[in-house]
């Protein structure tokens, strides 16, 4: 199931100056209706904003409304996002332009770039894509682009790309995502649904009923700065209410995060050894069982398989009872704390708010499965303010849903058939058996997204995945629009090797990102501020419908992804563009149609008390339309119906109940994911007998960016250390290593090396360090990343055969003080141009 679709469907320090190498861009075409002086309202992932314009140039931006005292600085850097580091013209890598059939892929990232005419770039891509499909088959094209692009229902670059690729023959897709790769595969077996993107027991219910709130491996103060459509900020308002309440708050995290600091003095901070939460939970479960502090009735009525889990818990088979003492040795949390916490959670109404980082680890299925097992023993699932939730930290999970309808958006279309240079109809309607077989083969080749490097390197290899077999396709053409694999993929040195396999790589990008630099052909793309769109604000609340009005002229030769793919459709074959553009529609026509459909539903529902005006009027007004939640939605409790009647409202699992033991998984016979939750040693961790390095490097999401996005803005001046990504190093470790705040350090392991800027702190546990994901990859000649991109160091082995998810958080490194002359960054500079 595709996550974002699901979400929609289911709801109705010391810093040196920024070394900016890219010059400011000039004004491209000027739309007469654009505001030249004044302010324009729009929204981005980081919320609704007023963007100010002077003489046609954006000068600043500020939040439209502020609902809490928790700061969100991401909204202040719009001008940098529009004017810095832009790709100005369509560009082709020199060797590719000279000979696309033998394009010297090994020179990607080093070759010179040649500026070409837009029309020529379009022709080139259409021709080479056709050639690839003709020579290598449909399953040789990868265009999944799992990624964060920009908000806006129409200009969704990943969907626009899929629409083009589908209409012209299809592409190999990707399964799952990087966010919850393990969670979304294990949870359907255990809970019958993915849990991770679903609505949670609402915050008002938690605030009224919970006595204890356990924030387990989650940093909502950082991650709620963004939302998948746009944040409504209500998550912040409720966090503030939580802080002002009399609830007991417990934070379980090896790092004292922004959230840890926000609740300082109010919350208890428990710091387990990274990747050992499963062991800690097992210790808690053991203590609850032995002291009879568990809900036997709940286990009997609502779960299956506790009897199969129990022998493991008690150590009947392996001779290792999972006692608090056993757990303590692994997770580093004292026996006393483990016992007290377990009993406290049993005796008080407790909401466990789990984050996603612990499942982005080797055997990442286990902490989730164990957390549910523990919650089942506590017996509070489905009660107001009890149980667990895996989305309180993301896009406003738990914020009550308003009754507004959801505004539609561009769709990925169906697979089309092209013959003799013409669009012949949709594949589903064509009775060509050979073609059908080829399409089936292409679809069956979809692979878990984080396997990308492995796939490129090993075409034809067969892997296990969630009870099925997948045979890797032979990818020869990659198209990326709206993502940054040379930021998000684990083990970038492996990806770099793998990247030499395909003949063609095309990237639509706004900026000269590491991925754009690793392409053969780049199309410069507009920012969301250079085009019209429409968006919901609040992914769980659906609180606003927001016009996203173009703020500023398109810069340089930048074009909307829609324009680029419309032109590619036209160049590819007769009849494709007509369908792609739905009969030559302009962006505003689509936007109006989404609005009109939503407005119709809303206006028919008198109870909402909202009257949507005509589109032109609404658009002209440039104001968000607000919807309120209902009393019923405010009082919503996750799994309450199941608790009320587990037969009538059975879960989607084979038994209809919570599966503490899963026959389905047991029957898969995997060595790395068995029939019930268990502690399995990660490939790398601090307790390993043979350690490959000495410090566990966690890489959470950056509070100051969205992955790599915003990395070019002057916000970086506030956090970069010695012009590198900051790394938090524990005070005792730093002392031993002779490192002080402000030093440049080498961080390395067998997979690679990066430079980072040291921040010595007690906010990380001993032998743990933190470097956030998303620093722009900036390799020197030896492959050392000068800027501090974490994914040079991470491992790309899969979490398990069940999910094949990424395991970013399972990374050991060594740290040393850097000696010699610090290299200058090139991350934010343009690549070499041919003159
Ligand atoms: N080590 C480690 N790695 C991780 C993670 C981790 O925790 N640790 N987290 C993982 C997770 S959960 C995720 S979601 C991924 C995120 O990975 P990505 O989504 O790939 O990361 P972004 O940096 O947001 O990349 C989005 C790119 O799209 C471009 N863009 C924005 N708008 C548009 C547009 O309209 N059109 C086009 N064509 N391009 C546009 C931006 O400039 C940017 O370069 O990273 C994953 N990688
Ligand atoms: N500002 C901002 N917000 C974002 C994003 C962003 O890039 N920037 N990205 C968005 C996206 S795409 C996603 S997927 C979500 C990510 O949401 P999450 O995956 O939940 O966020 P992370 O920041 O990776 O990790 C959360 C916390 O888990 C802790 N942690 C790490 N390893 C362990 C462990 O082994 N045990 C325990 N107990 N804790 C551990 C980390 O120290 C961190 O404080 O955030 C979203 N929100
Ligand atoms: Mo994510």
Say if residue 14's pLDDT is above 60: no
Residues facing 758 on adjacent strands: 727
Residue in 734, 776, 784, 787 with CA at minimum distance from that of residue 758: 734
Ligand 2 in contact with 252 (CB < 6 A)?
yes
Ligand 2 in contact with 223 (CB < 6 A)?
yes
Ligand 1 in contact with 287 (CB < 6 A)?
no
Say if residue 16's pLDDT is above 80: no
Say if residue 744's pLDDT is above 50: yes
Tally of residues, the chain = 835
Residue 707: phi, psi to the nearest 5?
55, -120
Alpha-carbon torsion (738, 740, 744, 745), positive or negative: positive
Tell me what percent of the residues of the chain surpass a pLDDT of 70: 96
Q: Which helix (H) or strand (E) holds 119?
A: helix 118-136
Pocket-testing residue among 147, 355, 715, ligand 2, by greatest number of atoms within 8 A of Cβ: 355
Name the closest-CA residue to atom 41, ligand 2.
Answer: 700
Ligand 1 in contact with 751 (CB < 6 A)?
no
Ligand 1 in contact with 279 (CB < 6 A)?
no
Q: What is the pLDDT of residue 362?
A: 98
C-alpha dist (Å) from residue 263 to 92, 232, 430: 51, 22, 61
Contact 47, 63 (CB under 8 A): yes
Q: Give the number of the ligand closest to the Cα of residue 450.
A: 1
Q: What is the pLDDT of residue 430?
A: 86
Q: How far apart are CA 542 and CA 232, in angstroms?
A: 9
Q: What is the pLDDT of residue 32?
A: 59
C-alpha dist (Å) from residue 163 to 157, 266, 565: 10, 50, 9
Pocket-testing residue among 700, 730, 771, ligand 2, by greatest number of atoms within 8 A of Cβ: 700
Å from CA of 193 to ligand 1 middle? 26
Name the closest-CA residue to atom 39, ligand 2.
Answer: 217
Q: What is the pLDDT of residue 144?
A: 87
Name the closest-CA residue to atom 37, ligand 2.
Answer: 217
Angle between helices 277-290 and 365-378 (to 10 degrees): 20
Kindly list the strands in the beta sheet with 212-216, ordered across the sheet, starting from the edge strand earlier in the chain: 267-270, 248-252, 212-216, 350-354, 387-389
Name the closest-CA residue to atom 11, ligand 2.
Answer: 179
Tens digits of residue pLDDT in 163-212: 999 999 999 999 999 999 999 999 999 999 999 999 999 999 999 999 99
Query: Which residues lie closer than 8 Å to 749 by C-beta, 6 or more apart?
Result: 692, 693, 793, 811, 812, 813, 814
Stated pTM of the model: 0.96
Q: Give the number of the ligand closest to the Cα of residue 527.
A: 1
Ligand 2 in contact with 698 (CB < 6 A)?
yes
Which tokens in the block code for residue 218?
């989650």
Say if residue 8's pLDDT is above 90: no
Which tokens in the block code for residue 414?
């169906």
| Burial of residue 629, with CB atoms counted within 10 A of its CB: 0-12 exposed, 13-18 middle, 19 or more buried | buried
Å from CA of 537 to ligand 2 middle? 22
Say if residue 29's pLDDT is above 70: no
Q: How far apart are CA 702 and CA 216, in angstroms?
A: 18
Atom of ligand 1 nearest to the CA of 707: 23
Which tokens in the block code for residue 316?
């009947």
Atom of ligand 1 nearest to the CA of 523: 38
Ligand 2 in contact with 75 (CB < 6 A)?
no
Q: What is the pLDDT of residue 18?
A: 31
Q: How far apart are CA 560 and CA 553, in angstroms?
A: 12
Pocket-testing residue among 260, 488, 701, 810, ligand 2, by greatest number of atoms within 8 A of Cβ: 701
DSSP class per residue in 163-222: HHHHHTT--B-EES-SSSTTHHHHHHHHHSS--TTSPPSPHHHHHHH-SEEEEES--HHH
Residue in 276, 259, 181 with CA at minimum distance from that of residue 214: 259
The lowest-confidence range among 10-19, 328-337, 507-516, 639-648 is 10-19
The residue written with tokens 């589109």 in the block is 615
Q: Are strands 726-730 and 752-761 parallel, antiparallel or unpaired?
A: parallel
Q: What's 400-411 look like in SS3?
A: CCECCCCCCCCC
Ligand 1 in contact with 481 (CB < 6 A)?
yes
**Mean pLDDT within 717-740:** 98
Q: How far apart are CA 348 and CA 390, in angstroms?
A: 20
Contact 423, 573 (CB under 8 A): yes
Name the closest-CA residue to atom 29, ligand 1.
Answer: 482
Tens digits of residue pLDDT in 33-75: 899 999 999 999 999 999 999 999 999 999 998 899 999 999 9
Tens digits of residue pLDDT in 207-260: 999 999 999 999 999 999 999 999 999 999 999 999 999 999 999 999 999 999
Classify 142 as helix, strand or coil.
strand
Contact 670, 680 (CB under 8 A): no
Contact 752, 785 (CB under 8 A): yes
Å from CA of 774 to ligand 2 middle? 12
Atom of ligand 2 nearest to the CA of 222: 1
Q: Give the number of the ligand closest to the Cα of residue 354.
A: 2
Ligand 2 in contact with 258 (CB < 6 A)?
no
Strands (E), 116-162: 141-142
Atom of ligand 2 nearest to the CA of 273: 35
Say if residue 31's pLDDT is above 80: no
Ligand 2 in contact with 187 (CB < 6 A)?
no
Q: What is the pLDDT of residue 283?
A: 98
Residue in 72, 356, 409, 47 with CA at minimum distance from that of residue 216: 356
Tens digits of residue pLDDT in 292-338: 999 999 999 999 999 999 999 999 989 999 999 999 999 999 999 99
**Mean pLDDT within 793-802:** 98
Q: How far apart are CA 22 and CA 513, in angstroms?
A: 12
Q: How far apart are CA 564 and CA 524, in angstroms?
A: 9
Tens digits of residue pLDDT in 662-678: 999 999 999 999 999 99
Total H helices, total E strands in the chain: 29, 31
Average pLDDT of the chain is: 95
Tens digits of residue pLDDT in 147-173: 899 999 999 999 999 999 999 999 999
Contact 166, 415 (CB under 8 A): yes
C-alpha dist (Å) from residue 622 to 49, 81, 234, 320, 611: 12, 22, 22, 64, 16
Tens digits of residue pLDDT in 392-447: 999 999 999 998 889 999 999 999 999 999 999 999 998 899 999 999 999 999 99
């Amino acid at each position: 199931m595709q996550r974002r679709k699901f979400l929609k469907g289911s709801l109705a320090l010391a810093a040196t100056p920024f070394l900016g190498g890219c010059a400011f861009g000039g004004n491209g075409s000027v739309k007469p209706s654009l505001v030249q002086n004044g302010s324009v309202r729009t929204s981005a992932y980081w919320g609704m904003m007023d963007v100010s314009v002077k003489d046609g140039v954006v000068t600043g931006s500020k939040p439209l409304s502020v609902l809490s005292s928790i700061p969100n600085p991401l909204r202040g850097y719009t001008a940098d996002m529009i004017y810095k580091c832009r790709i100005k013209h369509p560009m082709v890598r020199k060797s590719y332009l000279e000979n696309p059939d033998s394009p010297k892929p090994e020179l990607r990232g080093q070759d010179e770039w040649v500026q070409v005419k837009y029309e020529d770039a379009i022709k080139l891509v259409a021709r080479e894509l056709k050639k690839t499909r003709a020579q290598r088959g449909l399953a040789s094209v990868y265009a999944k682009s799992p990624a964060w692009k920009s908000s806006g229902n129409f200009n969704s670059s990943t969907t626009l790309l899929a629409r083009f690729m589908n209409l012209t023959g299809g592409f190999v897709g990707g399964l799952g995502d990087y966010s919850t790769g393990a969670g979304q595969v294990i949870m359907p077996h255990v809970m019958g649904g993915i849990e991770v993107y679903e609505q949670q027991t609402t915050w008002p219910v938690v605030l009224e009923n919970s006595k204890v709130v356990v924030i387990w491996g989650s940093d909502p103060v950082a991650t709620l700065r963004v939302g998948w459509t746009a944040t409504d900020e209500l998550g912040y308002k409720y966090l503030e209410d939580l802080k002002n309440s009399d609830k007991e708050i417990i934070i379980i995290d090896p790092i004292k995060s922004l959230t840890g600091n926000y609740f300082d003095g109010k919350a208890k901070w428990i710091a387990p050894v990274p990747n050992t939460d499963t062991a800690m939970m097992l210790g808690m479960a053991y203590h609850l069982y032995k002291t009879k502090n568990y809900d036997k009735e709940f286990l009997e009525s609502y779960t299956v398989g506790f009897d199969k889990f129990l022998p493991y818990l008690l150590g009947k088979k392996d001779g290792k009872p999972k006692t608090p003492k056993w757990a303590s040795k692994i997770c580093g949390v004292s026996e006393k704390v483990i016992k007290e916490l377990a009993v406290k959670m049993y005796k008080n109404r407790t909401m466990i708010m789990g984050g996603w980082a612990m499942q982005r680890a080797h055997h990442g299925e286990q902490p989730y499965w164990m957390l549910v097992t523990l919650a089942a023993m506590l017996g509070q699932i489905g009660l107001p303010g009890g149980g667990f939730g895996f989305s309180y930290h993301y896009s406003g999970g738990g914020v009550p849903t308003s009754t507004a309808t959801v505004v539609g958006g561009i769709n990925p279309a169906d697979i089309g058939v092209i013959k003799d240079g013409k669009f012949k109809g949709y594949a589903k309607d064509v009775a060509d058996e050979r073609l059908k077989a080829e399409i089936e083969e292409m679809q069956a080749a979809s692979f878990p997204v984080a396997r990308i490097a492995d796939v490129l390197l090993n075409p034809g290899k067969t892997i296990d995945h969630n009870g099925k077999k997948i045979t890797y396709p032979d990818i020869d053409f990659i198209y990326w629009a709206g993502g940054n694999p040379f930021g998000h993929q684990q083990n970038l040195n492996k990806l770099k090797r793998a990247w030499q396999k395909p003949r063609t790589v095309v990237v639509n990008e706004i900026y000269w990102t590491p991925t754009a630099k690793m392409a053969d052909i780049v199309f410069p793309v507009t920012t969301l501020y250079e085009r019209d769109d429409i968006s919901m604000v609040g992914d769980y609340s659906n609180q606003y419908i927001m016009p996203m009005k173009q703020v500023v002229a398109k810069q340089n030769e930048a074009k909307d992804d829609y324009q680029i793919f419309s032109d590619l459709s036209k160049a590819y074959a007769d009849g494709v563009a007509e369908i792609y553009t739905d009969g030559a529609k302009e962006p505003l026509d689509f936007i109006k149609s989404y609005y009109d459909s939503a407005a119709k539903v809303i206006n028919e529902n008198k109870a909402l008390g909202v009257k949507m005006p005509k589109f032109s009027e609404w658009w002209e007004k440039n104001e968000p339309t607000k919807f309120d939640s209902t009393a019923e939605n405010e009082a919503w409790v996750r799994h309450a119906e199941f608790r009320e009647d587990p037969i009538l409202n059975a879960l989607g699992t084979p038994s209809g109940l919570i599966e503490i033991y899963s026959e389905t998984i047991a029957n898969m016979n995997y060595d790395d994911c068995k029939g019930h939750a268990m502690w399995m040693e990660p490939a790398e961790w601090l307790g390993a007998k043979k350690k490959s390095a000495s410090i566990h490097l966690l890489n959470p999401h950056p509070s100051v960016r969205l992955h790599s996005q915003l990395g070019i803005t002057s916000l970086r001046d506030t956090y970069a250390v010695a012009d590198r990504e900051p790394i938090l190093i524990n005070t005792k470790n730093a002392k031993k290593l002779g490192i002080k705040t402000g030093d440049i350090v080498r961080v390395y392991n067998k997979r690679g090396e990066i430079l980072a800027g040291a921040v010595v702190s007690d906010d990380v546990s001993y032998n743990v360090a933190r470097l956030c994901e998303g620093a722009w990859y900036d390799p020197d000649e030896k492959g050392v990343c000068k800027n501090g991109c974490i994914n040079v160091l991470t491992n790309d082995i899969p979490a398990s055969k069940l999910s094949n998810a990424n395991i970013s958080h399972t990374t050991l490194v060594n740290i040393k003080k850097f000696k010699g002359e610090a290299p200058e960054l090139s991350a934010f500079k343009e690549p070499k141009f041919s003159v």
